Chains A and B, each alone.
Chain A
Amino acid sequence: MITRFMNLEWKQFFRSSYWQKSIAINVLMVFLALYFITIFLALGVGLFPLLEKFYPEADPFTQVNNFVFYWLLGDLMMRFFLQKLPVMDVKPLLVLPLKKSKIVRYVLNKSALSFFNVLPLFAIVPFSLFLLAKDYDSLQVAVWAVSMLVFALIINFLNFIIESKSSETEFAFLPILLFVSGLLALNHFNVISFSGIIAASVNAIVASPWMVSIPILVLVAIYWINFKMLIGKLFIDGSLKKATKEVAVSDLAWTRKLGAIAPFLQLDLKLLWRNKRPRSTLLMLVLCLFYGLIFYPNPTYQGIPGFYVFVGVFITGIFMINFGQFIPAWDSGYYSMLMSQNIKYKQYLDSKYKLMMASAVLLFVLSVPYVYFGWEILLVHFAAMVYNIGVNTHVLLYGGSFNRKKIDLDKSAAFNYQGTGAVQWLIGLPLLLLPIILFYIPYKFINFEAGVATLVVLGLFGMVFHQKLMKIIVQRYKNKKHEMIAAFSQSNS
């Protein structure tokens, strides 16, 4: 049976229409995987000598356990953001003669084989080999390695419980951030020394190997909770269906003043507010506004205006980068309807342009308090805003015509790369890097004001030639219309 499920997954992956085109992103994933493997391998090999060097008086085998707590928390965080429960599209399977428990077990067991559980092995195995080479008791080493693996699996299943609980709320990642930082704080200020407790427990397990059954029991229990939770949700009105609430209708009458683009602007605003994914994009803005606080108070970055440009473009452009790069994929669900309506592409795109422009101005205004860290920062932010409005908006709109991936508006947002193609990655970099270079060259050779002026002038150029640029962009969208419709009507989850 399991082979048949595997077969389904395999086909879903390779037969998705986008597979061929998204090779670039797969290559990227492979590189990321190799990168992590290398890091863990280096850690596994280097851990023993490093521990000996930094803690010469301690036994590396017991010393290492002091770090287990941090590893577990880090692992939990990483999984929370990157790993999703592999609920394959179970809906068609529900009516087939398959026991529900079998489906659930398959989904859970498959997660145990995930890359996140294999990864620690690259550190655990070399370290264990080191221990064996140093004549530690082989039974103890084996028990240690097994319990580490069991810990990884516990985190694996714990993560799914946390995810399913927190996915119902809007700020899905806030509770776990609070939880983890709370634990770290308690530990750091020695209120409760979790790292000590965990280290002591691991040492106890190593000392008396039968105790390894305790984490194994925990693992079984947590697996069982997952099992119960999933099987209870395996109804099409359970996890497979979303709750409906009564809607509050607003007619956004003020948009009427904007003339021909009004209907599209209304549509965009509703799109942003009423769908899970774009709404979380919106909420993320608030967090990103504080991004500058990482850099500006830090004396290391004082007097490096290149950083001001980066932060400026980022803060005033965060909405347009997040929203703009998925134009027109936001509308992918009903793109063919839009295309058969009496719609002028120009108005459709102009509404998106105005929205991005307004966001840049608004975010600039909100970022004014950064003037506290120096008037140059305000000046650079202003230049960045002008540049964003004049240049980056057009780049984003043009880049949008390369969009071929459908976006499911109801999927959650954070670290959801659905709809992300290689082009989006490529477009993101020049949006941020180019203005830094454009600023830096005149700054280096002439002065600070020249750098700011360059950005402003380029931005103004973009605004002056807006109509001309839009003509080119509209033509591009027209040429690609059929391709986009065909791609958007494929469902490729």
Chain B
Amino acid sequence: MIKAINISKKYGGNTVLSIENLEIPKGQCLGLVGNNGAGKTTFFNLLLDLIRPSSGHIMLNNIQVAESEDWKMFTGSFIDESFLIGYLTPEEYFYFVGELRGQNKADVDAFLTQFHEIFNDEILGAKKYLRDLSKGNQKKAGIIAALIGSPEVIVLDEPFANLDPTTQIRLKQLLKSFVENQEVTLLISSHDLGHVTEVCDRIVVLEKGEIVKDLSSSTETLQELETYFTV
């Protein structure tokens, strides 16, 4: 589903990302871990064609992201708060994103009902603009919006950070159900080793822009990762 071939990103003479070959088959959940500056967000930005690669290319479902825009039809993503349109209410934002993904209002409403406990009455019907919500609620709205319209590829940068415990658990269940049904290819990054190993069946460790470990998740994975990151 996702193929990164010889992809690299340099700023000046400084290489921030260099991946020779990374293939993520359909239905897999890949967790990207690594310390700050490891190149996680850079990889996501390259995947979404938000920055231009210095070399190589990324294929999404055999579409080269830098060449065609057709991958946008089936890709949902949330990188950070700059993905939110501050002067819309959460509902309006969901409808807007829904519309771009061919979902009408009723579809979006139906989709949103399953998130009732996540929203906790603070997001829907709160009559507030997104810019006035708390960071955690903004993040919830952004993540949920990325899931609208059943995308085949979902990209979430640090989805668990800033979320309250209830939402973390609920989000984990949700992502796990995606993985079990093998319907979505999921790409998440996290600093919380526990969360990623729980959700994802494959963990890739980045360090200084390069892949240093590529593990398939098992009971020992968490242990192995913790040893790796203990300096």
Q: Which residues of B contact A485 (CB under 8 A)?
A: 50-51
**Is the Cβ of A340 less than 8 Å from the Cβ of B89?**
no
Q: How many residues of A contact B (CB 8 A)?
A: 28
Question: How far is B48's CA from A159's CA once the two chains are assembled, in angstroms?
Answer: 48
**Is the Cβ of A263 less than 8 Å from the Cβ of B96?**
yes
Interface string of A319-338 (1 = CB under 8 A from B): 00000000000000110110
**Is the Cβ of A334 less than 8 Å from the Cβ of B51?**
no
Q: Is the interface of B mostly helix, strand, loop or mixed?
A: loop
In the complex, residue of chain A having the shortest beta-carbon distance to the beta carbon of B132: A244
Q: Is the interface of A mostly helix, strand, loop or mixed?
A: helix
Q: B184 near A: Cβ within 8 Å?
A: no
Q: A423 near B: Cβ within 8 Å?
A: no
**Is the Cβ of B96 less than 8 Å from the Cβ of A267?**
yes
Instruction: Find residues 315-367 in chain A having any chain B CB closer than 8 Å to their own CB.
Output: 333-334, 336-337, 339-344
Q: Which residues of B contact A266 (CB under 8 A)?
A: 96
Q: Which residues of A contact B72 (CB under 8 A)?
A: 340-343
Instruction: Find residues 253-268 in chain A having any chain B CB closer than 8 Å to their own CB.
Output: 262-263, 266-267
Query: Could you tell me the distance in whole angstroms from the C-beta of A242 to the nearest C-beta in chain B?
Result: 8
In the complex, residue of chain A having the shortest beta-carbon distance to the beta carbon of B86: A333
Q: Which residues of A contact B137 (CB under 8 A)?
A: none
Partner of B87 from the list A339, A342, A409 (CB cut-off 8 Å) is A409
Interface string of B116-151 (1 = CB under 8 A from A): 000000000001110010000000000000000000
**Is the Cβ of A274 less than 8 Å from the Cβ of B87?**
yes
**Is the Cβ of A247 less than 8 Å from the Cβ of B129?**
yes
Question: How far is B100's CA from A309's CA once the two chains are assembled, in angstroms?
Answer: 41
Question: How far is B45's CA from A481's CA once the two chains are assembled, in angstroms?
Answer: 13
**Is the Cβ of A249 less than 8 Å from the Cβ of B50?**
no
Q: B174 near A: Cβ within 8 Å?
A: no
Q: A270 near B: Cβ within 8 Å?
A: yes
**Is the Cβ of A247 less than 8 Å from the Cβ of B89?**
yes
Query: Could you tell me the distance in whole angstroms from the C-beta of B52 to the nearest C-beta in chain A?
Result: 5
Interface string of A455-486 (1 = CB under 8 A from B): 00000000000000000000000000110011
Q: Which residues of A contact B89 (CB under 8 A)?
A: 247, 249
**Is the Cβ of B82 less than 8 Å from the Cβ of A334?**
yes
Q: B83 near A: Cβ within 8 Å?
A: yes
Instruction: Find residues 69-102 in chain B having any chain A CB closer than 8 Å to their own CB.
Output: 69, 72-73, 75, 77, 79, 82-89, 91-92, 96-97, 99-101
Q: Which residues of B contact A344 (CB under 8 A)?
A: 69
Q: Which residues of B contact A482 (CB under 8 A)?
A: 50-52
In this complex, which of B69, B84, B87, B97 has the most chain A Cβ atoms within 10 angstroms of its Cβ? Answer: B87
Q: B207 near A: Cβ within 8 Å?
A: no
Q: Which residues of A contact B92 (CB under 8 A)?
A: 249, 270
Q: B198 near A: Cβ within 8 Å?
A: no
Q: B49 near A: Cβ within 8 Å?
A: yes
Q: A489 near B: Cβ within 8 Å?
A: yes
Instruction: Find residues 349-397 in chain A having any chain B CB closer than 8 Å to their own CB.
Output: none
**Is the Cβ of A267 less than 8 Å from the Cβ of B85?**
yes
Given contacts A267-B85, A334-B85, A342-B100, 19 further A-B contacts (CB under 8 A): A246-B127, A247-B127, A247-B128, A263-B99, A266-B96, A271-B87, A274-B129, A334-B84, A336-B45, A336-B48, A336-B82, A337-B82, A340-B50, A341-B72, A342-B101, A344-B69, A482-B51, A485-B51, A489-B82
Instruction: Find residues 179-205 in chain A having any chain B CB closer than 8 Å to their own CB.
Output: none
Interface string of B42-72 (1 = CB under 8 A from A): 0001001111100000000000000001001
Question: How far is B187's CA from A476's CA once the two chains are assembled, in angstroms?
Answer: 32
Q: Which residues of A contact B100 (CB under 8 A)?
A: 263, 341-343
**Is the Cβ of B127 less than 8 Å from the Cβ of A339?**
no
Query: Could you tell me the distance in whole angstroms from the C-beta of B140 to the nearest C-beta in chain A?
Result: 16
In the complex, residue of chain B having the shortest beta-carbon distance to the beta carbon of A271: B87
Interface string of B25-57 (1 = CB under 8 A from A): 000000000000000000001001111100000
Q: Which residues of A contact B75 (CB under 8 A)?
A: 340
Query: Could you tell me the distance in whole angstroms from the C-beta of B194 to the nearest C-beta in chain A?
Result: 28
Can you offer 18 A-B residue contacts whose CB atoms are under 8 A? A246-B128, A247-B127, A249-B92, A262-B99, A263-B100, A267-B85, A267-B88, A270-B87, A333-B85, A334-B83, A336-B50, A336-B79, A339-B48, A339-B50, A340-B77, A340-B83, A342-B100, A482-B52
